[in-house]
Structure 1
Amino acid sequence: MGRLVEAHQRAAAYYAGQLSRLTGGPALHYLRSRGIPQSLARSRPWRLGYAPPVRTGLTGYLRRLGFADDELIEAGLTVVTRTGRPVDAFRDRLLFPIRGPDGRVRAFVGRDLSGQARVPRYRNTATTPIYTKSGYLYGSAEVLSLFGRPLGGHRGSLAGVILVEGPADAVALSRLPPGPDGRFAAVSTCGTAVTAGQIARLAATVPPGTPVIVCFDPDAAGARAADRAYDLLRTWDGPVDAIVLPPGVDPAALIARSGPRAAARALRDARTSLLAARVARRVSGRRLDEIEGRLGALRAAGALLRHAVPRDAPQLALIARDLAVRLGFDGVTVFEGIYPAAGDGHEPTSVNA
């Protein structure tokens, strides 16, 4: 497996060199649109790369270094066409290297720059002997590097880790200024549903008690991802919060539009507990001007609160009080909606407003 890792190291250097030679074009335009300065993209620990729109640029380069086609195919750096010809797996993409705990590159996430409708926007390295997508978080090795566990010297305290969907979000969030508790770092699921393996990797990356802040897209898919994250973080040894941004806004776009300091304020103001965010999502979109809609919202929110983890117990009273105000119910009705067995064994069908 050492040869596969070495091939990725060489590939990362090749792609980084391609990016450093650009003076314009879609790759640099994309970086600007995501609030990522060229200097940040090209510097450690990120060292992003660019795959030019040629068929065998990387493959030919690695062949000249002595790598065989079979090795490159096994590494996921080269794929075979229908005619049996080896070609580069990544072409015309901005590349985010995925590193292991030792800081060495194991895989890539490539963001399409062609704009062609039939081309997937993101492409991950396929499963290989050195990489499984469900077991890695983009940015976890960079967190180790930046905060001194164990790749480098200590550079400040870690205020929390923000869990995002896209790798560009993770890079852009590294620009946030430090707050009273230190700096925030970010890691990305690379567009996949968060997994138990990724949470285990995160736990091995940060000190015990580090807050996790989930910041997924404010849509149905993001809500499902947040629900899954809550279940996987049930035993997390620290606060589990959420940042809820307006529709169409993600962290990188916020930083690009507002700058790091204003974005930091907006993210701080949008922060709440993950449990409260899940309850708010269950209520939103329902017809709260109708009694059936309000009862449906209470039943949905009650199911979440009833199964809250012990860590969130101190928040339950405040969330229930806010729920009563929003739905126009009295406290007894909300309590029975959360804990129906405490009443007559049935969920409320009528209310006292």
Structure 2
Amino acid sequence: MSDQGFMMSAEERRRLLDANAAAARYFRRELLRATNGWPVKYLQSWGVEEVLSTDSAWKVGYAPGTWTNLVDHLRAQGFGFGTLVRAGLVTWTEGGDAVDRHRDQLMFVARDQRLSPVGFVGISQGGHARTVSPVTAAHRPSNVLVGVEEQLKLLENGAIPVVVDRPVDAIAISAVSRLSSGRWVGIPVCGAGLSTAQARMLRRYSTTDQVIVALSGDEPQRNQAAGYLLDLAFFFDRVRAVGIPAGYTPASLVLTDGGPGHLRDVLSAARPLMTYRNTVSRRIASPALDSDPPDRGPGL
């Protein structure tokens, strides 16, 4: 039985994973073929066009705005309609036609605790990132993460996970890290918050006992991010917070005159998170008023 309560044999799981992997390759091919259009412009506008390189660790893709291109592609590879529907890639119209579930979106692979491809996070033209795959026998949004497999070598070498909201921020942190001896990896939660299962998964693939939560956006958004402390403290000994300057995100910091060094300096200033939720924004915004806490302590 899967984590979602669905009965699933090993063979069924293999078929669903194979279908998602094939879809990811198709989406990747479509993005690399693109020479213009909003997906390319969006990535360029945030300074993360490096993902358009064939050797990028981030295998970002694009689901074209067509009705059956993915269906036709995967059917030609031998996947049955039933498998594609159960994998969350295809849906039926009222007229009984099989159509692509994902259309006109940038696509990021969501992986489970085994790092198997079980679903997708999509970014629409408006820049909003969200889980676009339904709950299936293999996929539940609260049990998957984006970015771990792409940065696995950095994690194995001791990089500190930095929890952010958007995939472009995670990519920006990853790029800066590679210029800074691999100090950090960016892990996006895509507006859905961080679950206990996700915190456990992140710890499983981390070789450090430290994690950083990046606080950005308005006060409610910062308080939501600060709330991740509770789940992270179960698995990491040292939970840190870093306040992103008002009006900026990790990705946009790299686009300032300070360049990658600006984001590096901000991440280097991460501090133990002594309070959270309603008071965290005030404390992060006024670090001079916050006396230096002990270097380590349970859950800090």
Same-fold status (TM-score > 0.5): yes
Cα deviation digits, residues 167-224 of structure 1 (max 9, x gap) = 2211221111458874211111121121101011011111252x11001433243234
Report the Cα distance in structure 2 between the residues aligned to 1:146 and 1:223, rounded to whole angstroms.
27
Question: In 1, are the aligned partners of 2:254 and 2:263 still within 8 Å (CA)?
Answer: yes
Residue 9 of structure 2 corresponds to which residue in structure 1?
none
How far is 1:64 from its partner? 1.0
Q: Which residue of 2 aligns with 1:315?
A: none
Q: Which residue matches 2:143?
A: 135
Q: Deviations over 1:61-109 (max 9, x none)?
A: 0011111112111101112233332211111111111234555422111
Q: Secondary structure at the match of 2:185?
A: strand
2:69 is equivalent to residue 57 of structure 1: yes
Write the letter of the residue equivalent to 2:17. V
Q: Any stretches of 5+ residues in structure 2 without a counterpart? A: 1-12
* Partner Cα distance (1:51, 1:277) in 2: 38
Residues 1:225 and 2:224 aligned together:
yes
Give % identity.
30
Say whether 1:187 aligns with 2:187. Answer: yes
Matches within 5 A, 1:180-219: 182-209=182-209, 211-219=210-218
* Equivalent residue in structure 2 for 1:70, among 82, 100, 110: 82
CA contact (8 A) 2:61 2:107 kept: yes
Q: 1:225 to 1:54 in 2, by over 3 A?
A: same
Q: Which residue of 2 aligns with 1:170?
A: 170
What's the counterpart of residue 7 of structure 2?
Answer: none
1:18 Cα deviation from its structure 2 partner: 0.6
CA distance in 2, matches of 1:235, 1:21: 44
Q: CA shift at 1:166, angstroms?
A: 1.3
User: Secondary structure at the residue paired with 2:35?
Assistant: coil
Letter in 1 for 2:264: A
User: Given that residues 16 and 87 in structure 2 are in contact (C-alpha distance below 8 angstroms), is that contact kept between their aligned partners in structure 1?
Assistant: yes
- Name 1:238's counterpart in structure 2: 237
Where in structure 1 are there 5+ consecutive unaligned residues? 149-156, 286-300, 313-353
SS, match of residue 186 in structure 2: strand
Q: How many residues align?
A: 277
Structure 1 residues 20 and 164: CA distance shift in structure 2, 3 A = same
After TM superposition, the structure 1 = structure 2 runs for residues 101-116 of structure 1, keeping only pairs within 5 Å, are 103-113=115-125, 115=126
Deviation at 1:54, TM superposition (A): 0.6
Q: Does 1:34 align with 2:42?
A: no
Relative contact order, CA 8 A, sep 6+: which one is greater? 2
Aligned-partner SS, 2:161: strand
Give the aligned residue type for 2:272: S
Match of 1:321 in 2: none
Return the letter of the residue paired with 1:165: D
- Contact kept, 8 Å, 2:155 with 2:207, in 1: the verdict is no
Determine which structure has the larger helix proportion and give its number: 1
The reply on whether 1:253 has 2:252 as its aligned counterpart is yes
CA-CA distance at 1:267 after TM superposition: 3.1
1:280 Cα deviation after fit: 4.4
TM-score, normalisation: structure 2: 0.81
CA distance in 1, matches of 2:283, 2:250: 24
Letter of the aligned partner of 1:168 in structure 2? V
Cα 1:255–1:41 change in 2 (3 A) is farther
Contact 1:100 1:106 in 2 (8 A): yes
Match of 2:130 in 1: 122
Q: Which has the larger radius of gyration?
A: 1
**Structure 1 SS opposite 2:39:** helix
Whether the 8 Å contact between 1:36 and 1:256 is mirrored in structure 2 is no
For the residues of structure 1 that align with 2:181 and 2:275, how far apart are their CA atoms? 23
State which of 88, 92, 114 in structure 1 corresponds to 2:100: 88
Question: Is the alpha carbon distance of 1:129 and 1:221 closer, same or farther for their aligned partners in structure 2, counting shifts above 3 Å?
Answer: farther
Change (3 A) 1:225 1:43: farther
- Inter-CA distance 68–123: structure 2 relative to 1 (3 Å threshold): same
The answer to whether the 8 A contact 1:144-1:205 is kept is yes
**Please, what TM-score do these two structures have when normalized by structure 1?**
0.70
1:15: Cα distance to partner?
A: 0.8
